[in-house]
Structure 1
């Protein structure tokens, strides 16, 4: 299960092979990370990429044995000018920290709700390149398909590196849900435009819930199960809690 992510290289940029960055006639030929990609700088360009890459999301179970789970999160320094990404890899089911990494780079995309992956994934890829253990499952601090275009950061990252991912967000982006019981483990479906896009999950009795949605190569019931199994006495799963602390301090 251990190994190196094959497509990443230090502070260089990344690409999806086959993208024609004529944003009028954009065609996806093949998904592959390479070093020709210029990350978009506008919401219009980013929207086109989201709509195209969303077609690559696998919303079903493709999860093997899980020995390592990881959390990723991004914080900011120098009034947002520098993005600081963190990855924490834990053993599963023991939830013991095995490896951690931090990467910094200049922030290249503005803060626009619904487009945070374009701001956060470049430094996340840098951090992932530094670890020696390939996680079997990644929990992202953010949305999966509970997103206006069904393509939050968990989907985006999962598609780019082809690893199962779950979106574990601390706040609601889209959708409505019924009242949630106060007990840990209770959940309600999160619905948007007639579709179930995730769940509202109580990860600790009496505290604010989390918003869980699939990212890539996992089903919603399995996503709920792993989020709860990665959660101990805190609101956040241990994966996300470690990554959040590393990205923020």
Structure 2
């Protein structure tokens, strides 16, 4: 089952905070920073949130870009038991906010929210390809999505950005703290023996221990969780059909 949406909808239920709506996306850097401050204050970053064994469905979100400025946001809902696809949704658009370090979420949020609004199923957890509180203002994409949707959300990133960490142990499941100026904002997680770690940080509604354990369940065979892999594949395929 798939959905290709064309506009932002309102079908995701009540958000935790009214830091943003689909009608007041910021247009300037100052407005965006102010929104980040409100979103950070509204986020529940302590959890614990749903335990992995309680999560029946999880949605992965990812954004693919073309050189001409076109972007495609993809959302894929999986059953956690067998990692089978329940539903897919994509939304094609253009980034309306300029590229500013630390404000990337505002280039992606309108399209990501539209893709999520195209889903008939409300997942138990959202996993985005990016960061949560592992962000200079503790307000990455996963924080925004968790607050706006009211769904527990966290990020799994492929790179550590500018943060500090020690290499985790060799074995699958090994972790080490991800820090900013000595404050832990996530963890480096080894999802497969000897492969590069991924970087887990909470957004809102789930704590780091549960987010880390769920990521391992979602990554039985590859470095990245299946949520990211499926959403990335879907987004790239849709983008290729447009360009």
TM over 0.5: yes
TM-score normalised to structure 1 length: 0.84
1:128 to 116, 119, 129: 116
Q: Render the CA deviation track for 1:204-239: whole Å, top value 9, x for unaligned.
A: 222221110111111111110000011121111011
Following the alignment from structure 1 to structure 2, what is the Cα–Cα distance between the partners of residues 243 and 207?
Answer: 21
Which residue number in structure 2 is paired with residue 234 of structure 1? 222
Cα distance in 1, alignment partners of residues 124 and 97 from structure 2? 29
Report the Cα distance in structure 1 between the residues aligned to 2:20 and 2:179, rounded to whole angstroms: 33
2:34 corresponding residue in structure 1: 48
Aligned partner of residue 74 in structure 2, secondary structure: strand
List runs of 5+ in structure 2 lacking aligned partners: 11-16, 238-243
CA gap of 1:143–1:105, structure 2 versus 1, over 3 A, is same
- 2:13 is aligned to none
- Tell me the residue number matched to 1:22: none
Aligned pairs for 1:154-173 (under 5 A) are: 154-173=142-161
- 1:149 matched residue in structure 2: 137
Q: 1:1-249 maps to which residues of 2 (within 5 A)?
A: 11-12=7-8, 31=18, 34-37=21-24, 39-59=25-45, 60-63=47-50, 65-77=54-66, 79-249=67-237
Q: Secondary structure at the match of 2:164?
A: coil
Cα distance, 1:10 vs structure 2: 5.2
Task: Quote how far apart the aligned CAs of 1:173 are.
Answer: 2.1
TM-align CA RMSD: 1.9
From the superposition, tell whether residues 219 and 155 of structure 1 become closer, same or farther in structure 2 (CA, over 3 Å).
same
Per the TM alignment, residue 170 of structure 1 is displaced from its structure 2 partner at its CA by 0.6
**CA pair 80-148 structure 1, distance change in 2 beyond 3 A:** farther
Total equivalences in the alignment: 224
- Structure 1's consecutive aligned runs of 4 or more residues displaced over 3 angstroms after TM superposition are 32-36
Q: Distance in 2 between matches of 1:186 and 1:58?
A: 25
Higher relative contact order (CA 8 A, sep 6+): 2
Q: After superposing the two structures, state which structure 1 stretch, 174-183 or 122-131, moved more.
A: 174-183
Q: Deviation of residue 36 (structure 1)?
A: 3.2
TM-score by length of 2: 0.86
Contact 1:184–1:202, Cα closer than 8 Å, also in 2: yes
